[in-house]
Amino acid sequence: MPDSCVYRENPEDVLGKIAAQIQEKFQQLPVSAGQSVMQPSPHTLKGAETNFYAEASEQAFTVDMLGQSVAVVAKPVQYTWSYGDGTSLGPQTAAGGPLPQDRWGEKTATSHVYPQTGDFSVVLTTHFQGTYSVNGGPPLPIPGQGRFSSPPQTVSVWRSITRNYADDCLRNPQGQGCPGVASPAP
């Protein structure tokens, strides 16, 4: 039997239907939300700059839509932090980054100062921009963005008390702040 072309009298616009459904499909993909990292961790101090930064990466998926192979790429482009104390930052393009330990406490583009002590749940929402390609065709932009949130991460905010003493424990082992001597109540 010779090769023949089979077609419908009213052909379907499969590409148009995929384009109409791709944003919804993108939001349903199992995209790994970025991870929020904090310095210092898991505790910080009231009134001190706490450095937060996002770790997120580009991800690729292949899905079947209307019988077609659709390759989707999700690229992180913006980040929003909800710091758990009623304040948030973003969306912004800066993911932040780690600081060396001797620089902890410096203000960064993504740092936050907690004005109160307590335990707070921090949530990072990573905004992904997507492209899709049908059956190996050219990449096409997905309208809008997909937003994916990390599970809440608890940060404990403590207070610190500084006291100055005239003596050191070698000269006065019974002095305030020396081992074995109870400190006065705050």
The hierarchical CATH code for the domain 14-158 is 2.60.40.10
Question: Pairing state of beta strands 35-39 and 140-141?
Answer: unpaired
- Which tokens go with 16? 């148009």
Residue 9, H or E segment: none
What would the DSSP string read from start to end of 108-144?
-TT-EE-SS-EEEEEEEEEEEEEEEEETT---EEPSS
Q: Please say whether the dihedral angle defined by the alpha carbons of residues 83, 89, 90 and 94, taken in this order, is positive or negative.
A: negative
**Alpha-carbon distance 16 to 144, whole Å?**
17
Q: What is the pLDDT along the chain (186 residues), one digit of tens a residue?
A: 455 444 555 556 888 899 999 999 999 999 999 999 999 999 999 999 999 999 999 999 999 999 999 999 999 999 999 999 999 999 999 999 999 999 999 999 999 999 999 999 999 999 999 999 999 999 999 999 999 999 999 999 999 877 777 778 888 888 777 876 655 555
Torsion region of 133: left, alpha or beta (phi above 0 gives left; psi -120 to 50 gives alpha): beta
